[in-house]
Structure 1
Amino acid sequence: MADKKNAPTTNNQPPSTTESVALTELESLRHLVFGAAKSDIEERISALEQHTDDSFKKMQLAIEKNTQSIQATMREGLNQLEDKLAIADQGQDAKTAELNSYADKISSELEMAEANSKQENDDLHNRLDKEIQTLTVKFTEQLNQALEKLTQMSSELNSSKTDRKTLAKLLATVASDLATDEGE
Structure 2
Amino acid sequence: MTTKVTSAKASNDALGDLEQLRMIVFGAAKQELDEKIDALNQRLSDEMQQIQTQISLQFSDMQKNIAENQQILLSKLNDTDNTQDTNQQKLIEITERLNSQIEMAENAGRDEAKNLHARMDNEVNALQADLADAVERLMTKLDAVSKDLTSSKTDRKTLAQLLANVATNLDADE
TM class, shorter-length: 0.7 to 0.9
Equivalent residue, structure 2, for 1:55? 47
Report the AA paired with residue 55 of structure 2: I
Counterpart of 1:170 (choices 161, 165, 173) is 165
How far did residue 114 of structure 1 move? Answer: 2.0
Percent pairwise identity: 28
**1:146 partnered with 2:146:** no
Matched, 1:64 2:59: no
Is 2:109 the partner of 1:111? no
Cα distance change of structure 1 residues 55 and 161 upon mapping to structure 2, 3 Å threshold = farther
TM-score normalised to the size of structure 1?
Answer: 0.73
Structure 2 unmatched runs, 5+: none
Q: Residues 130, 36 of structure 1: CA spacing in aligned structure 2 closer, same or farther, 3 A cutoff?
A: same
C-alpha separation in 2, matches of 1:86 and 1:17: 85
Count residues in correspondence: 169
- Match of residue 71 from structure 2: 79
TM-score, length basis structure 2: 0.77
**Mean CA deviation greater in 12-21 or 72-81:** 12-21
Q: What residue in structure 2 maps to residue 44 of structure 1?
A: 36
Does the alignment pair 1:160 with 2:142? no
Question: Aligned-pair distance for 1:14?
Answer: 0.7
Alignment match, 1:182: none
Gaps in structure 1 of 5+ consecutive residues: 1-10, 180-184
| Cα separation, 1, equivalents of 2:13 and 2:88 | 103
> 3-state DSSP class of the match of 1:160?
coil
Aligned to 2:120: 128
Query: Whose helix fraction is larger, Structure 1's or Structure 2's?
Result: 2
TM-superposition CA deviations, 1:105-138 (whole Å, max 9, x none): 2222222222222222222211211111111011
Moved more, 12-21 or 59-68: 12-21
* Distance in 1 (alpha carbons) for counterparts of 2:11 and 2:130: 163
Distance in 2 of aligned mates of 1:83 and 1:19: 81
Cα distance change of structure 1 residues 17 and 125 upon mapping to structure 2, 3 Å threshold: closer
Between 1 and 2, higher relative CO (CA 8 Å, sep ≥ 6) is seen in 2
User: Partner of 1:33 in structure 2?
Assistant: 25
- Secondary structure at 1:78 match in 2: helix
Partner of 1:6: none
